[in-house]
């Protein structure tokens, strides 16, 4: 799937910009710059579970061709995963720490982009797919616009219901601070694009709809006749939406 996503939706026969490796506070990334001079929008691009900075490099190249400085990163959950949990308490703590570390890495990447001379710090965007889309729900305040593709989440109450009765309160306390459904509900109206596949076999439909229903007013929601990886049209639409949002006054 990684190879397919890397080239998905590039939509151009022009030569791709060459990515340059960067390391930002220990976070490995690849940056792709537009061929034009001046200050541009900047977009942080984040992969799915188990992926890395190369997974969505095709999307970064396509964004660069559209006048965006695009930065892909490898999240800490991939680069430095926590050890397997040996108890429920450790599992819950690991879930919380993993989500907080990934969100912090995205904010660090955004700060790096904002400090570049070729980036307008007022025009920062985010493109995340799958797990990367879920991470995006926690960083909505950092970006002017966020395109979240195949973003799904179960409710905290469903996780608690699956736990032993004596542990349900513990589960609720641990997961509420890192609940993507609650997080996206706090985003600014009109800043979110959600794209989902009607034939997604990885994330259940109800999990996708949980995020859609929790999203703030004026969220753009699009469904495609596609699976979890979506299709070229979806990726092209997401890039076009981001570029339009980041180019407007």
Q: Over the chain (249 residues), what is each successive 10-residue block's mean pLDDT?
A: 42 61 97 95 97 97 97 96 93 95 98 97 98 98 98 96 95 96 98 98 98 98 98 98 89
Q: Which residue has the tokens 């969505």?
A: 56
Q: Are strands 27-32 and 69-73 parallel, antiparallel or unpaired?
A: antiparallel
| Cβ-proximal residues to 158 (8 Å cutoff; 6+ apart), any chain | none
**pTM of the predicted model, to two decimals?**
0.92
Domain extents for the chain? 2-247
- Residue 249 is predicted with a pLDDT of 55
**Distances 154 to 138, 139, 157 between C-alpha atoms, Å:** 15, 19, 8
CA distance 53 to 142: 20
For 29, which DSSP code? E
CA distance 1 to 128: 16
Fold adopted by 2-247: Rossmann fold (3.40.50)
CA distance 230 to 53: 19
> How is residue 161 written in tokens?
């219901």
Query: How many Cβ atoms are within 10 Å of 127's Cβ, its own excluded?
Result: 30
Closest-CA residue to 95 (of 81, 106, 107):
81
Query: How many Cβ atoms are within 10 Å of 12's Cβ, its own excluded?
Result: 11
Helix-then-strand count for the chain, H and E:
10, 8
């Amino acid at each position: 799937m990684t190879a397919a996503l890397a080239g998905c939706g590039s939509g151009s026969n022009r030569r791709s910009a060459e990515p340059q490796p960067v390391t930002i506070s220990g976070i490995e990334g690849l940056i792709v710059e537009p061929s034009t001079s001046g200050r541009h929008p900047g977009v942080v691009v984040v992969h799915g579970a188990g992926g890395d900075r190369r997974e969505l490099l095709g999307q970064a190249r396509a964004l660069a061709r559209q006048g965006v400085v695009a930065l892909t990163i490898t999240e800490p959950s991939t680069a430095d995963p926590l050890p397997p949990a040996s108890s429920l308490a450790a599992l819950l703590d690991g879930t919380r720490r993993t989500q907080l570390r990934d969100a912090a890495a995205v904010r660090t990447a955004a700060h790096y982009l904002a400090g570049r001379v070729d980036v307008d710090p007022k025009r920062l965007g985010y493109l995340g797919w799958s797990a990367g889309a879920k991470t995006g729900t926690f960083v909505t305040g950092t970006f002017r616009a966020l395109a979240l593709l195949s973003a799904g989440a179960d409710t905290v109450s469903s996780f608690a219901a699956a736990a032993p009765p004596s542990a349900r309160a513990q589960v609720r306390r641990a997961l509420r601070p890192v609940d993507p459904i609650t997080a996206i509900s706090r985003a600014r109206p009109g800043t979110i694009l959600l794209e989902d596949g009607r034939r997604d076999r990885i994330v259940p439909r109800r999990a996708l709809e949980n995020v859609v229903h929790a999203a703030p007013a004026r969220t753009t929601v699009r469904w495609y006749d596609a699976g979890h990886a979506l299709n070229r049209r979806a990726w092209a639409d997401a890039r076009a939406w981001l570029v339009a949002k980041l180019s407007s006054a």
